[in-house]
Amino acid sequence: MQKNRRRFISSTCALAVTMALPKVSFSQNSDYDFYFTRLSYESGDWEVDERMPANVLNSLIEYTSLRVDIQERIIPLSDPSMLTVPFCYMAGHRLVQFNQQEKQNFKQYVENGGFIFVDDCNHDIDGMFARTFEAEMSKMFGAEALKKIPNDHAIYSSFFEFDGPPNTSVELNGWGDDIVHNYLKAIEINGRIAVLYSNKDLGCEWDYDFRNKRWLREDNTKFAVNIVVYAMTV
């Protein structure tokens, strides 16, 4: 099954990305199927979990056939060029308060087929990042748009098999709100996740030198592979 998924990803990834946006065209370097884009934004502290992107990119190279650019790209949310990338990551601990251009780009991007993975580094449903980010989503997409996704959602079987979001060490150690969040939230558009939202602090969980994975009993970045594969193929 895993080999079949790898062949599928290699042969269909570029097509899926090209077809994803009917109104906005993704710009893909022909040398790569995937590159990691972090969104910066004026409020808050977006420059977190600095080693995470390299770790995730290493896992994509290790487990899939994707041609991966190993350099993280950082693009301001207010920059129209973010509309042309196939995958975005956004994270932080503090205030999220988008300016008008950031709101416009965020909304246009996700409504036209883009994918943004947003991670709350506080692991706290009552923390500043969670409260203010969710308020921004409510303003842009409506109060009911951001919902818990079921633990049999396709994202949990897009490459590796999971029965829901894996627990993180920060949850198990009681940091933040001292709750193990057994769910992720998402805004879905046309039956597809457009914004994946986590209170689990997955970014910090994966924020270590990828060469240290050999010390892990189980590679905890495998779920990152699922997120990227889902974003690129569904």
Tell me which residue range forms the domain holding 42. Answer: 2-233
- Nearest Cα neighbor of 221 from 3, 38, 60 is 60
Number of domains forming the structure of the chain:
1
Question: Is the separation of the CB atoms in 79 and 108 below 8 Å?
Answer: no
The CATH code of the domain that includes 132 is 3.40.50.12140
Sheet holding 147-148, edge to edge: 73-76, 37-40, 88-92, 116-120, 192-198, 185-189, 147-148
Tens digits of pLDDT across the chain (234 residues): 343 333 334 433 433 333 233 333 444 556 889 999 999 999 989 999 999 999 999 999 999 999 999 999 999 999 999 999 989 999 999 999 999 999 999 999 999 999 999 999 988 999 999 999 999 999 999 999 999 999 999 999 999 999 999 999 888 887 778 888 999 999 999 999 999 999 999 999 999 988 888 778 889 999 999 999 999 998
